[in-house]
Amino acid sequence: MIANIGLLLAFLALTLAHPGPIPRRPSIHPGPVQPYKAIPLQTERNPHKICHVKPGHKGSDDASIIRDALQTCNNGGTVVLDKEYTICTPLDLRFLKHVDIALTGTVEFCPDLDAWSLENLFQFHFQDASSWWVWGGEDIHLYGAGTGVIQGNGQVWYDAHAADSNVSRPLLFIADGWHGGSITGLKLRHSPNWHNFIANSSDILISDMDLFSRSSSENAASNLDGWGTFRSDNIVIQNSVINHDDDCVSFKPNSTNVIVQGLHCNGSHGISVGSLGNYPYQYDIVSDLYIYNNTMANTTTAARLKVWPGAEAVKKGDPPWVGGGGKGYVRNVTYDTMINDNNDLAIQIDQCYGAINASECLDHPSGVILTDVLFKNIWGTSNGVEDPVTGQLICGSEDSCDNIRAENVTLTNPSGQPPQWECRYMDEQLLDLGGAGCIAA
């Protein structure tokens, strides 16, 4: 009885903390390309189960307040975060069920390297991914209505990483085991590392997002992928703007039935499959992707597939990145309608990712096989960095790629020279490259 009274008092305190209006969940639907199966977006909430979250003193740690609100209004309620909140301790939110979160204020993370040392982060055994909070559960709708901000204060990590490349850099947002729902209308700012990691999840619509991360010092802001999908199925990412470094979207191992549409990616490494085959003795699968109507500006590559060779390779970097030797397949991937604006390359297939030289890759062809990949309706301009080359279609062996096709692909070079494509182990009869031909890679 006492416990129940305490819970009731906590609920009333949260509800009465802010008597203002409740931001309604936006009516956003996937389109024009529809998901492989319906995403549950119309689930209802109890209009009387509302938790308005009042923050503590400015700069104090609000992690426990936010967690308490989500526990109180879980299972049918709505949590309203419309003020300024600070998180300085890890927050595990993988208990969520049938709940809306209206994040129309600002949530920022303490810019404190010691507070976010590796032992204080949630760690994933994939490419050293870790984060300060992790979301999961079922039937969850997180929305910002265009005003909500998640602030990573990444500059501290950009500068620290320049001095010590072993510094742990948290990912800004991780969904782990999130099944059903949406993430919409949020502004993600200055992530220390990847902006979003969607892992072990399914049936999620992500829409109307605004991602921006740039360094204000001479130290680069690096590895700032927009989204990475991993062991996830039936995800839609759409109608968003991304200004950052690294992959705009990265389909990591076991990403299936994913749609990416209506993005404007500026300054990225492209919408990328991979990297895959990174870990020996692991089998990576990526299949059934449709990438539609995206604009890629000032990128190294617009459409990209990157696969490690069949034996260990050492990719240049600080520290060097060792990978390769994995197996798997990429199947049924379509890049349809992509505008290129000032990019190094329009398309890149690289089955020698991480290899120091071509002979190293040819001696050990990738064990990740690429089949049924289509690039169509791709046009625009290169920036001349690789002039006259506008794309690279490079497979590791004649057995590692099959049915790679291009239709209505037309690029121009700023020099006016006819575009050329570097190719290896390609069936050129399947390549409509606007009259451009292949040259040896």
Query: Annotated catalytic sites, by residue?
Result: 269
Neighbouring CB atoms inside 10 A of 292's CB total 18
- Total number of residues shown for the chain: 441
Q: Determine phi and psi for 184, rounding to 5 degrees.
A: -145, 155
> Alpha-carbon dihedral of residues 31, 35, 40, 41, nearest 10 degrees?
-10
CA-based nearest residue to 270, from 316, 338, 317: 338
What is the distance between the terminal CA atoms of the chain, rounded to a whole angstrom?
A: 75
Report residue 28 as tokens: 């956003």
Q: How far apart are CA 403 and CA 373, in angstroms?
A: 7
Residue 65 C-alpha from the chain's centroid: 28
Q: How far apart are CA 157 and CA 190, in angstroms?
A: 10
Say if residue 35 is preceded by a cis peptide, omega within 30 of 0: no
Q: How far apart are CA 286 and CA 276, in angstroms?
A: 9
Q: How far apart are CA 174 and CA 239, in angstroms?
A: 20
Are 93 and 70 a contacting pair, CB within 8 Å? yes
Residue type, 319: P
> 276: Cβ–Cβ under 8 A, 6 or more apart, which residues?
252, 253, 284, 286, 306, 307, 308, 326, 328, 330, 368
CA-based nearest residue to 431, from 364, 373, 345: 373
CA-based nearest residue to 235, from 208, 260, 258: 258
Complete DSSP assignment for 112-171: -TTTT-GGGSEE-SSTT-EESEEEEEEEEEEEEEEEEEEE--THHHHHHHHH-TT----B
Element (H, E) at 235: strand 232-243
